[in-house]
Amino acid sequence: MHLRVSTFAFLSLLFFACAEKPAQTEEQTLDQFPETIEVPLSSGDNSMNSLDWAGTYLGTLPCADCEGIETKLVLNQDGSYHYTTHYFGLNDALEHEYLGKFTWDESGSVITLHGVDGIPGKYKVGENRIWHLDMDGNQITGALADQYILTKQD
């Protein structure tokens, strides 16, 4: 009988001694992190929060009355852009240059360039490329669709 009581006491002591160690370990682990951690509300992955979109994009867009529109768009992390176009075959010395800010749409996948004249200024952002969108903000389809893509250079 004495052996049973001793065994029970030993197992109880062992159980309670082991039960407190995880609490100490947890406190030590929590001390390694900052006091507050900001967790953004998850609206799902999108181009804005999942891709490395900042950089320089180049391409030659189709042109109705010239050989093509050499287009360079630099997107900066701070929401600013530098947009340059050169119309091949019209006035080779003429370049249009725009500087301004861009905004993301609600889905986080399309940007709008503010301050550009005569073009829609909307681009769908993808992995290492962006698609020039039409006046209604739709992706261009058809035989020339691949020519409306600007490719990331850096």
* Residue pair 68/146 in contact by the 8 Å Cβ criterion: no
In a domain, 87, yes or no: yes
- Residue-range definition of the domain harbouring residue 118: 47-152
In a domain, 94, yes or no: yes
Residue 116: inside a domain, yes or no? yes
46-81 pLDDT, tens digit per residue, is 888 878 899 999 999 998 888 899 999 999 999 999
Residue 107 inside a domain? The answer is yes
Confidence of residue 40 (pLDDT cuts 50, 70, 90): very low
Per the domain annotation, does 91 fall within a domain?
A: yes
* CATH classification at residue 58: 2.40.128.640
Q: How many domains does one find in the chain?
A: 1
Residue 102 lies in a domain: yes
pLDDT computed for residue 111 by the predictor: 95
Asked if residue 81 lies in contact with residue 75, where contact means CB atoms within 8 angstroms, the answer is: yes
Asked, for residue 58, whether it belongs to a domain, the answer is: yes
Query: Does residue 26 fall inside a structural domain?
Result: no
Q: Measured between alpha carbons, how far is 100 from 52 in angstroms, rounded to an integer? A: 20
